[in-house]
Amino acid sequence: MTWTTTTEDGVATLTLDHPPLNILTRAVLAEMVAALARLATDPSVRVLRLAAAGKHFSAGADVGEHLPPQHELLIPEFAEAIEALAAFPLPVIAAVRGRCLGGGFELAQAADVIVAGEGATFGQPEILLGVTAPAACVLLPRRAGPGFAAEILFSGDSVSAARALAAGVVQQVVPDDRADEAALELAKRCARHSAVALRETKRTLREAQGRPRGEALRHAATRYVQDLMRSEDAVEGLRAFVEKRPAQWRHR
């Protein structure tokens, strides 16, 4: 098993453990997709923390599997794996240390929030091999804007955690030995809340992307009225506030 899973206090931690560089092979990706499917239906999970064992988050996908004819299977499977992570119905917080390159960086980009160690480096070196980073071409402009994405994708150069933070790719930079802990602390703060509200917030954020502003606002309002307010937790949370008492979440 290259992925391990633990769950505590509503936070599930999915850890990549494929030493020494956590290379993403087709088998590793398939295992991740299966783990995500299990966690997505686990009623005890409210937040997912994505982590990696060892010094480095991931140096990327297996270059050998990119060669013909395996590329015909790898690339679609990789896209499906990225989508499975991006579409996870609850918040995903990635803890990144060391190298986060190529497919590993694309994996991190699929998370909602990235917490990075100050020594982490991020890059898409695919252009150096004469190819591109298809998932990053889609995800990176949405996180950091088209200019930063173009620089990273065209140059193949890596950037520091500080530069990634300034670009909006990373949301927190902490000492390297605190990256996992800081991501867990944030995950626990999020996991205090109703699973229904977390799911609806994640879904609304995702569905707003790419829609014109007016359409997105109307769609978000409709989801609030027709879906969220039919949940027990939404009514309980509002009533608890009015009645000046702590809410009792039932996560439904």
List the chain pLDDT tens, one digit each, 252 residues.
899 999 999 999 999 999 999 999 999 999 999 999 999 999 999 999 999 999 999 999 999 998 999 899 999 999 999 999 999 999 999 999 999 999 999 999 999 999 999 999 999 999 999 999 999 999 999 999 999 999 999 999 999 999 999 999 999 999 999 999 999 999 999 999 999 999 999 999 999 988 999 999 999 999 999 999 999 999 999 999 999 999 999 999
> Rounded CA gap, 180 and 176, in Å?
9
- The residue extents of the domains of the chain are 3-191, 195-242
Entry pTM: 0.95
The residue from 65, 72, 126, 236 that is catalytic is 126
User: What's the topology of domain 3-191?
Assistant: 2-enoyl-CoA Hydratase; Chain A, domain 1 (3.90.226)
Q: What is the three-class DSSP state of 172? A: strand
The phi, psi pair for 174, rounded to 5°, reads -135, 170
Are 142 and 209 in contact, with CB atoms under 8 Å apart? yes
The phi, psi pair for 140, rounded to 5°, reads -65, -40
Annotated catalytic residue 106: yes
The residue from 8, 31, 106, 243 that is catalytic is 106
